[in-house]
Chain A
Amino acid sequence: MSQEEEKAKLFVTRLLSNPTLLTLNPLQKEDQIMSFMEINADQLKPTLSSNAFFPGQSWFNIHNLLVKTLRLLIDESLIPGIQRQLYDKIDFRFISILRQQNWPQEKIKEEVLNFIKNIISSPDGRRDFSGSYNAISRQIVDKYINSIFDDHSYIHFELTKVQRLKMSKEEVKDMINTSLLLRPAIYVFSSSMNKDSSSGIITQNFAEKVEESLIKKIPSLPGPLVKSAIRSNLSFEDHKYLQATARLTSIINSMARSFKADMKIDRGASSPEKSWFSIARKNYKYFGWDIKMLDELFRFSAENNW
Chain B
Amino acid sequence: MQSKIKNFVESIVILAILLVLIQTFLEDYAVLAGWSWNFRKILIFTGVGFDLFFSIEFLIRFFSALMQKKGSIYFMEGKGWIDFLASIPLLVLNSGPAFFAIITGSGFFFGMGGLLNILKIIKAIRIARVLRLLRILKIFRQIKHTGSVMAQRHVAKITTLSITSFVFTLLVFSIFSSLISLPSAEGKFIDNQKASISSFLENVKSENLSLSASNFSDYEEDLLIIKNNGQTIYSRYDNPFYATVFGPGDFQYFKTTEYEFFFDVRELAQIHATNNILFFLVVVMSVLVFLIYYSPHFALTVTDPIHVMKRGFLETDYNLEVEIPNSYKNDDIYKLGALYNEKYLPLKVRETDTNTGHTNLSMDDFEDLFK
Q: Is the CB of B361 within 8 A of A20?
A: yes
Are A279 and B346 CB-contacts (below 8 A) given A18-B366, A269-B323?
yes
Contact yes or no, A39 B321, CB < 8 A: no
Supply 17 A–B pairs (Cβ within 8 Å), ascending by A: A15-B366, A18-B366, A20-B361, A20-B365, A21-B361, A31-B356, A32-B359, A32-B361, A36-B362, A39-B359, A40-B363, A43-B363, A198-B350, A258-B319, A268-B308, A270-B322, A274-B321
Residues facing A in B335-370 (CB within 8 A) are 341-342, 345-346, 349-350, 353-354, 356-363, 365-366, 368-370
Contact check, A266 vs B356: say whether CB atoms are below 8 A apart.
no
> Taking beta carbons and an 8 Å cutoff, which residues of A are in contact with B?
11, 14-15, 18, 20-21, 31-36, 38-40, 43, 47-48, 52-53, 127, 197-200, 254, 258, 260, 263, 265-272, 274-276, 278-279, 282-283, 286-287
With A272-B320, A275-B321 known as contacts, the answer to whether A14 contacts B366 (CB < 8 A) is: yes
The segment from B223-231, B240-248, B299-307 found at the interface with A is B299-307
Chain A residues, Cβ within 8 Å of B220: none
Which residues of chain A have C-beta atoms less than 8 A from B370's C-beta? Answer: 47-48, 52-53
Q: Is the CB of A270 within 8 A of B319?
A: no
B300 pairs with A278, CB closer than 8 A = no
Chain A CB within 8 A of B79 CB: no
Residues of chain B lying within 8 A (CB to CB) of residue A48: 370
Would you give the shortest CB distance from B273 to chain A, in whole angstroms?
Answer: 43
Interfacial residues, chain B to chain A (CB-CB below 8 A):
146, 299-300, 304-305, 307-308, 311, 317, 319-323, 341-342, 345-346, 349-350, 353-354, 356-363, 365-366, 368-370
* CB-CB nearest in chain B for A254: B353
Known: A200-B353, A266-B311. 8 other contacts (CB 8 A): A14-B369, A21-B361, A35-B359, A39-B359, A47-B370, A267-B300, A270-B323, A282-B346
* 7 nearest A-B residue pairs (beta carbon): A268-B304, A35-B359, A269-B320, A282-B346, A270-B321, A275-B321, A36-B361
Query: In the complex, what's the smallest C-beta–C-beta distance from B312 to chain A, in angstroms?
Result: 9
Contact A36/B307 with A47-B370, A258-B319 known, Cβ cut-off 8 Å = no
Indicate which residue in A38, A53, A269, A271 contacts B357 across the interface (CB closer than 8 Å).
A38
